[in-house]
């Protein structure tokens, strides 16, 4: 439906990031007004025994792979299809907090009090995520995005130890497994929200694209990443509440600052349900119009 309505350049398969904990045997329920919730979250390291060992990802997440196959067929080559997964730290945080949290204090307590158990859980998640992403490519995904939505809750040292280590491992293992399977490599995108403090390290973590939120200036991001990676982002989603003229103005400035090479125009995070679809159309049209004009004037 979005591709029939807007002239987008790619499609992304929609599946909640919490399908990974579900595959590990944890129950997830949707609570009205609260969102996804774990009725029985992980409280202490001993709770790790609740998680399934040797998860058969092909079986547990077969419905996602089938959705990718069907979507790829329906797209008929019009645009590439992007697969995605939540990253280990973000999933760990949900599994311990029992849902969303403003502080992630329960999850961060694990990092300080139970570092060994934290690494054990992160390794379990990493292994499942790798198989999940490879399965998506096998099913037809032509690019992959890994979301570390809760990176901003960590300091630099914690991020390096408990997030970046596993983001790197995911990129490395996915590429190696695709090679072993004789499949073509696909571009990989990493989005670590609010983790500008580690931008240089993120840009060297094995991903071809680094997604950015709206709290970093494009020129600063370019300076800190050089020409090592493509950048994606980073308009504030709430800018879609602005007038159409203002949206076009913001998009023009964004593209001018990022440049038209090694860049994917996008929002800096997800949209909200009450946003006007016409303003989404304005955003997409502005990206195409201004980028063409900038290229023409070079």
The three-state secondary structure class of 2 is helix
Domain boundaries, the chain: 8-211
DSSP states of 255-272: HHHH-SSSEEEEESS---
Contacts of residue 82, Cβ cutoff 8 Å, sequence gap at least 6: 10, 11, 12, 13, 141, 142, 143, 144, 145, 189
CATH class of 8-211: alpha beta
The three-state secondary structure class of 208 is coil
- Establish whether the linkage from the previous residue to 234 is cis, with ω within 30° of 0: yes
The three-state secondary structure class of 171 is helix
Rounded Cα distance, 117 and 121, in Å: 6
35 conformational bin, left if phi > 0, alpha if psi -120 to 50, beta if neither: left
Pick the closest to residue 267 from 222, 200, 211, 188 (CA basis): 211
Output the pLDDT for position 15: 86
Output the pLDDT for position 112: 98
* pLDDT string in tens for the chain (298-residue length): 789 999 999 999 988 999 999 999 999 998 888 889 999 999 999 999 999 989 999 999 999 999 999 999 999 999 999 999 999 999 999 999 999 999 999 999 999 999 999 999 999 999 999 999 999 999 999 999 999 999 999 999 999 999 999 999 999 999 999 999 999 999 999 999 999 999 999 999 999 999 999 999 999 999 999 888 999 999 999 999 999 999 999 999 999 999 999 999 999 999 999 999 999 999 999 999 999 999 998 7
pTM of the model: 0.96
Q: Whats the size of the chain, residue-wise?
A: 298
Phi/psi of residue 51, each to 5°?
-80, 140
Output the pLDDT for position 64: 98
Do strands 29-31 and 35-37 pair parallel, antiparallel, or not at all (unpaired)? antiparallel
């Amino acid at each position: 439906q979005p591709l029939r309505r807007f002239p987008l350049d790619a499609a992304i398969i929609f599946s909640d990031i919490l399908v990974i904990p579900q595959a590990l045997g944890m129950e997830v329920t949707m609570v009205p007004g609260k969102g996804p919730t774990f009725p029985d979250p992980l409280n202490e390291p001993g709770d790790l025994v609740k998680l399934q060992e040797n998860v058969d990802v092909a079986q547990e997440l077969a419905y996602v792979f089938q959705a990718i196959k069907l979507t790829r067929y329906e797209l008929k080559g019009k645009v590439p299809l992007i697969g995605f997964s939540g990253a280990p730290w973000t999933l760990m945080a949900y599994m311990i907090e029992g849902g969303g949290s403003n502080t992630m204090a329960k999850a961060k307590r694990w990092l300080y009090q139970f570092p060994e158990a934290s690494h054990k859980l992160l390794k379990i998640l990493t292994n499942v995520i790798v198989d999940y992403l490879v399965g998506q490519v096998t099913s037809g995904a032509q690019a992959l995005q890994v979301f570390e939505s809760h990176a901003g809750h960590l300091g630099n040292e914690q991020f390096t130890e408990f997030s970046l280590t596993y983001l790197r491992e995911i990129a490395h293992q996915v590429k190696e497994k695709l090679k072993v399977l004789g499949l073509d490599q696909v571009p990989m995108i990493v989005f670590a929200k609010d983790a500008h403090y580690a931008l240089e390290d993120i840009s060297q973590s094995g991903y071809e694209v680094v997604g950015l939120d709206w709290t970093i200036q494009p020129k600063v991001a370019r300076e800190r990443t050089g020409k090592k990676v493509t950048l994606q982002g980073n308009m504030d989603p709430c800018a879609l509440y602005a007038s159409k003229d203002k949206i076009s103005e913001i998009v023009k400035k964004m593209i001018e600052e990022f440049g038209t090479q090694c860049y994917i125009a996008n929002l800096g995070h997800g949209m909200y349900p009450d946003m006007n679809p016409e303003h989404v159309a304005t955003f997409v049209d502005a990206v195409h119009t201004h980028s063409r004009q900038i290229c023409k004037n070079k």
